[in-house]
Amino acid sequence: MDLALSAEQQMIVEMVRQFVRTEIVPLEEHLDPDADELPPKDYHRLMAQTKSMGLYGLDTPPEYGGPAIDLVTRSLIAIECSQHRAGLYAPCYYVFGGARQAQLFEATESQKTKYLYPMLQGEKKVFFGLSEPSGGSDPARAIQTRAVRDGDDWVLNGSKLWISGADRADYGLIFARTGPDKGRAGVTCFIVETAWPGFNVRRIVHTLRSAKYATEIQLEDLRVPHENILGTIGGGFAIANDRLSRQRIPYAAECLGVAVKAHEMAVAYAKIRETFGAPLASRQGIQWMLVDNEIDIRTARWLILDAAAKADRGEPFRTESAMAKLVSAEASGRVVDRAMQIHGGLGVAKDLPLERWYREIRIRRIGEGPSEVQRHVIARDILGASLR
């Protein structure tokens, strides 16, 4: 595969890079080190700027007003958008439109009017409710939330865990079991409004990240109109899975972006920091750490762009997506760890973004499918789809 960027890609990458360095990074100097939002004035100003750049709504198809950007270019943008303190939690604080719930593009026209279009305009916030306390690695089998038909409504009971943004969302996608089948065919997707009786954010789940990283949702006799089924009855898992492999690629690219920036910081610091009368860069132990960083970064970059290129060509890419996510999350963790070690005490101080990246990159080995699940996906490709 040719890794050379086109002139247009080079222009877009440079434009986004300058935006991050001149607009986002300076604002962070005045924010709490664990901040996950910009002040409203700055947010709306920068969102207007990304719209003028023609880069707002990166995940939105052109027919819905999004830019016509292929997945390779989208991944290149993701690499740049994560190169700031909050880059792994909120890349560019979502002023580029954030990750869309792409499943809503499969909605009916009435559902699009009510839910999709307000989301695309940034007027409504939405969450994705798949994982449950019983387990998230195999959601098709782990889903215990039940939906029972009652006239023109469905009544939902159950709970969801590790759900990002449910406490700040206007509505969300809830996956519930509608049939006795314990496999994928028994799962249906519902569009649920958070203001409806029976919908409760039970608690904020505290993790290595900031306090609002995840939530637990409780559904108690929540009535959902039949017209709010997304897709077909029993077709929920297909809706969820169709987009997950594609989303893992820019997710992996965000991991890589943090590694690139951490490595850049480590190289610069090694050149100026002296120990026992000589710069750190002259020490073989430091040199080899930087070499390992470079190898990890180049390997991850190739896997990401290869997966994205196959997706753009319409070729099967599920295994390549799994490899990109697996390697990028784990390699980026090693790069950030080495960068912290090279910086010494400064590396664990909140004066630098390294300690935050260190915490958040650890979560990336679990989010969007744990490393072990990605290895299982790859193993099935090597050994055959019948592998269990």
Among 230, 264, 286, give the residue marking a domain's end: 230
Mind listing the pLDDT tens digit for each residue in 270-313?
999 999 999 999 999 999 999 999 999 999 999 999 999 999 99
Is 123 catalytic? The answer is no
- Say if 166 falls within a structural domain: yes
pLDDT grade for 77, boundaries at 50, 70 and 90? very high
- Take residue 106 and report the two structure tokens written for it: 């499969």
The mean pLDDT of the chain is 91
56 falls within a domain: yes
Inform me whether the pLDDT recorded for 170 exceeds 90. Answer: yes
Residues 224 and 348 grouped into a single domain: no
Give the model confidence (pLDDT) of 195-233 as tens digits: 999 999 999 888 886 545 689 999 999 999 999 999 999
pLDDT value of residue 240: 78
- Residue 120 lies inside a defined structural domain of this protein: no
**How high is the pLDDT of residue 134?**
78
Domain-embedded: residue 42:
yes
Tokens representing 127 are 């969450």
Per-residue DSSP letter, 4 = P
Could you identify the residue written with the tokens 């997966």? Answer: 307
- The residue from 28, 37, 193, 368 that is catalytic is 368
Rounded to the nearest 5 degrees, what angle is found at the Cα of 364, between the Cα atoms of 104 and 211?
Answer: 85
Last residue of a domain, one of 230, 258, 274: 230
Same domain, 74 and 178: no
Structure confidence at residue 205 (pLDDT): 87
- In terms of domains, do 292 and 318 share one? yes
What average pLDDT does the segment 48-70 reach? 89
What is the domain-level CATH number for residue 189? 2.40.110.10
Q: Which amino acid is at 134?
A: S
Whether 384 has a pLDDT exceeding 60, the answer reads yes
Q: What is the pLDDT of residues 307-345, one digit of tens each?
A: 999 999 999 999 999 999 999 999 999 999 999 999 999
Number of domains in the chain: 3
Domain match, 207 and 260 both: no
pTM (two decimals): 0.90
245 shares its domain with 353: yes
CA 246/CA 248 separation, integer angstroms: 5
Mean pLDDT score, 160-168: 91
Q: Which DSSP state fits 150?
A: E
Whether 286 is in a domain gets the answer yes
Return the pLDDT at 241. Answer: 75
Residue ending a domain, choose from 74, 104, 134: 104
> What was the pLDDT predicted at 208?
80
Q: Are residues 275 and 378 in the same domain?
A: yes
Residue-wise over 110-135: b if at least 16 C-beta within 10 A, else e? ebbebbbbbbbebebbbbbbbbbeee
Q: Higher model confidence: residue 227 or residue 121?
A: 227
Domain boundaries, position 177: 126-230
58 and 162 in a single domain? The answer is no
For residue 342, the number of C-alpha atoms closer than 13 Å in the C-beta half-sphere is 34
Same domain, 277 and 372: yes
| Statement to judge: residues 197 and 333 lie in one domain | no
Residue 242 sits in the same domain as residue 341: yes
Claim to verify: residue 249 and residue 197 sit in the same structural domain: no
Query: What is the reported pLDDT for 211?
Result: 45
Domain at 46, CATH number: 1.10.540
